[in-house]
A and B are shown apart, each in its own frame.
Chain A
Amino acid sequence: MKVLVPVKRVIDYNVKVRVRADGSGVDLANVKMSMNPFDEIAVEEAIRLKEKGTATEVVAVSIGVRQAQETLRTALAMGADRAILVLASEDVHQDIEPLAVAKILAGIVKEESPGLVLCGKQAIDNDMNATGQMLAALLGWAQATFASELKVEGEEATVTREVDGGLQAIKVKMPAVVTVDLRMNEPRYASLPNIMKAKKKPLEEKTPGDYGVDVTPRLRVVKTTEPASRKAGVMAKSVDELVDMLKGAGVV
């Protein structure tokens, strides 16, 4: 079984985010970018499936600017076998919207015929949480979202999902789209020998046109603003005063 893993290049989770002066979005010029952490978990899971013998090949794909090949090299260094880069933009500030991404992925699925698409449940930049679901709909495949455990058994997969207040186990027919949650695994560090080997692994370049997809944005960002800064607190001089304050606020 071939596993397709879409990975997105996003602003690194450690970076202090700044809003662009014109309010059109977050400033991405000259900031550290990394693989979306949920996608990293998906790559890790795909490699584990290969190590267990369930998967035969892991193909990573990224859609965006040319620099996304760094993200793909990371996936290759972790253990993916080959990569596909779909050059969809030259502007680091242009986000490719979920529907366009899902359509391109559907095109790649038709070419590659994987038995499973494993993706992050959402990207940490815009938190859309839509691509996996849209892809399943476009393909007419089963979908299992927010997975914390995945067991593939022949024509079926058992997926444990993280839902409010607990875990839910569902069975889905293969082929399927599975979107992974935070607790599925802990991604490995890429070893130095594997970083070296990754340089020699194939990285194919494509364009949205190859799949007949137009990535022109359909959504318009009206405004982006910084979160309101926290207001200064009040110091209570005694426990009694604190209790009065809490009562006044209706907390106790």
Chain B
Amino acid sequence: MYLNETHLQVREMARDFADGVVRPIAEALDRDERFPGEIFEQMAELGLFGVGVPEEMGGPGFDSLTYALVMEELSRGYASIADQCGLVELISTLLVRHGTDEQRALLPSILGMRTKVAYCITEPEAGTDVSGIRTTAVRDGSGWILNGGKVWIHNAPVADLAFVLARTDKDKGHRGMSIFIVDLHAKGVERGPKEHKMGQRASQVGALNFSDVHVPADMLLGEEGRGFHMMMSVLDKGRVGIAALAVGIGQAGLEAAVDYAATRKQFSKPIADFQGVQWLLADMAKDIEAARLLVHSAAMKIDAGQDATKACSMAKCFAGDMAVARTADAVQVFGGSGYIRGFEVERLYRDAKICQIYEGTNQIQRMIIARELLAKGARV
């Protein structure tokens, strides 16, 4: 087995935490669309944010495979909890790789959940095609002046600090974008209302508008004009995280379906005795395991410093599609009950859908896979 003792120890701890703390209140969080600050505080104390941040920068310093294990287990408890972990991982990876010492000094507060973060890329006219962003940052003496609007931003209603992709040179395409670290309590920042979503409803999502927001010069992340590339550089890990999150949703559905099939009786016997139900369970289990192995393989490629782009896209695409299809099966095992609010599988099915959309749609993942195949050949 490729999982070492430490991997297993972390997985067990995350699993216990998800079972003991997260899963029991997932239905309530979904119903109330509530930001679970108290759970995030506990997670911060347990070092579950910034899993890959090196010890000397205040993190626990684990590999990407450990991160994937944590994401799956947290998501098995509730996907919105894992998604916060994924967001912090992405932001902290950006800071670790590209931040100045002063910027990295933000890490302990971010990992401790005292500073809540947002990652701002998407705009009304720029979703999958990031090059279409219209948010601009213009030099102004002691810093930059930021103008524009971002939508579907995770944490927008609650965040303190945003990492904003903005255009700094309109003529340079992908090389004309930069990332700025923006204080969301600054003058000129306006928050839109909280969106009411289909699933992962405890994740707070909304719009952010910037009108003449002053950003100090030392809050430019990395080099000017490298924003798009920095963003892309952390996408592999982001995709592994979301893929693991999708596996966690599928796993929760499988566990619920197996338990239900064994206890629900029709025609005087448990429905698990019927082959039709058995095949649903078997298909769920094999696809979840296949997705999990793709996730682990992609994570290990990142950890080994190999080219992981195709592996991460395959994991994200397969796991996202799997989560939607197999939670639909979980609903099917539950029959009418599975369609009722309050039954876990009903929520899981809704929570799964976004896995085909965020962190790059699954259509984009297929384009990436095909592009890699055609550029580098199909041989493994």
Within 8 A of A (CB), among B14-67: 16-17, 45-48, 51, 55, 59-62
Task: Tell me whether A189 and B16 are in contact (CB under 8 A).
Answer: yes
A227 interfacial by beta-carbon distance below 8 Å:
no
CB A166 to nearest CB in B, in angstroms, measures 29
User: Contact: A70 with B13, CB < 8 Å?
Assistant: no
Closest chain B CB from A189 CB (angstroms): 5
Report the bound CA distance from A73 to B12 in whole Å.
13
Q: Are B51 and A192 in contact (CB under 8 A)?
A: yes
A199 within 8 A of B: yes
Q: Mark B62-94, 1 if CB is under 8 A from A, else 0.
A: 100000001000000000000000000000000
> Which residues from chain A contact B8 at a C-beta distance below 8 Å?
70
- The answer to whether B60 touches A189, judged by C-beta atoms less than 8 angstroms apart, is no
Contact of B62 with A196 in the complex, beta carbons under 8 Å: yes
A191 near B9 with CB under 8 A, answer no
Nearest opposing residue in chain B for A69, CB measure = B5
Q: Which listed residue (B6, B17, B59) contacts A195, Cβ 8 A?
A: B6
Q: Give the Cβ gap from A164 to chain B, nearest Cβ, in Å.
A: 30
C-alpha gap A77/B60 in the complex (Å): 12
A193 engages B60 (CB within 8 Å) = yes
Within the complex, what minimum Cβ distance (angstroms) separates B133 from chain A?
35
Interface residues of B (CB under 8 A from A): 5-6, 8-10, 13, 16-17, 45-48, 51, 55, 59-62, 70
Which of chain B's residues have a CB closer than 8 A to the CB of A196? 6, 55, 60-62
Determine the chain B residues whose CB is within 8 A of the CB of A199 once the complex forms: 6
Given contacts A189-B13, A190-B13, A195-B60, 16 further A-B contacts (CB under 8 A): A70-B9, A73-B5, A74-B9, A77-B9, A189-B46, A192-B48, A192-B51, A192-B60, A193-B59, A193-B60, A195-B6, A195-B13, A196-B6, A196-B60, A196-B62, A199-B6
Most buried by A among B5, B48, B59, B70: B5
Taken together as a complex, chains A and B put the C-alpha atoms of A193 and B62 apart, in Å, by 9
Instruction: Please encode chain A, from 150 to 194, with 1 for each CB lying within 8 Å of some chain B CB and 0 for all others.
Output: 000000000000000000000000000000000000000111111
**Please, how many angstroms separate the alpha-carbon atoms of A132 and B70 in the complex?**
37
- The total number of A-B Cβ pairs within 8 Å is 43
In angstroms, Cα B6 to Cα A194, docked, is 11
For window 55-111 of chain A, which residues contact chain B by CB distance below 8 Å? 70, 73-74, 77
Write the nearest CB–CB distance from A104 to chain B, whole angstroms: 24
Which residues on the B side are within 8 Å of A77 (C-beta)? 9, 13
- Chain A residues near B55 (CB-CB < 8 A): 193, 196
Distance A212 CA – B199 CA, assembled complex (angstroms): 63
Sampled A-B contacts (23; CB under 8 Å): A70-B5, A70-B8, A70-B9, A77-B13, A189-B16, A189-B17, A190-B9, A190-B13, A191-B45, A192-B10, A192-B13, A192-B48, A193-B55, A193-B60, A194-B47, A195-B6, A195-B9, A195-B10, A195-B60, A196-B6, A196-B55, A196-B61, A196-B62
Q: Which residues of B contact A74 (CB under 8 A)?
A: 9
B82 CB to nearest chain A CB (Å): 15
Report B-chain residues with C-beta under 8 Å of the C-beta of A195. 6, 9-10, 13, 60
Question: Which A residues lie within 8 Å of B10 (CB)?
Answer: 192, 195
The 6 A-B pairs with the shortest beta carbon distances in the complex, nearest first, are: A192-B47, A192-B60, A193-B60, A191-B47, A191-B46, A193-B47
* A196 to B50 CA separation, bound complex (whole angstroms): 14
Instruction: State how many angstroms separate the Cβ of A31 from the closest Cβ of chain B.
Output: 14
Which residues on A sit within 8 Å (CB–CB) of B47? 191-194
Which chain A residues in 31-74 approach chain B with CB under 8 Å?
70, 73-74
- The chain B residue with its CB closest to the CB of A34 is B12
On chain B, the residues within 8 Å of A193 by CB distance are 47, 55, 59-60
The one of B9, B59, B61 that contacts A73, using a Cβ cutoff of 8 Å = B9
Closest to B8 in A: A70
Residues on the B chain within 8 Å of A194, using CB = 47
Within A13-27, the residues touching B (CB, 8 Å) are none
CB-CB nearest in chain B for A70? B5
Residues of A within 8 A of B9 (CB): 70, 73-74, 77, 190, 195
B131 to A: closest C-beta gap in Å? 37
Nearest chain A residue, comparing its CB with the CB of B70: A192
Determine which residue in A74, A189, A199 has the highest number of CB atoms from chain B within 10 A of its CB, and name it: A189
Contact B5 A192 (CB under 8 A): no
B59 to chain A, nearest CB (A): 8
Which of chain B's residues have a CB closer than 8 A to the CB of A192?
A: 10, 13, 46-48, 51, 60, 62, 70
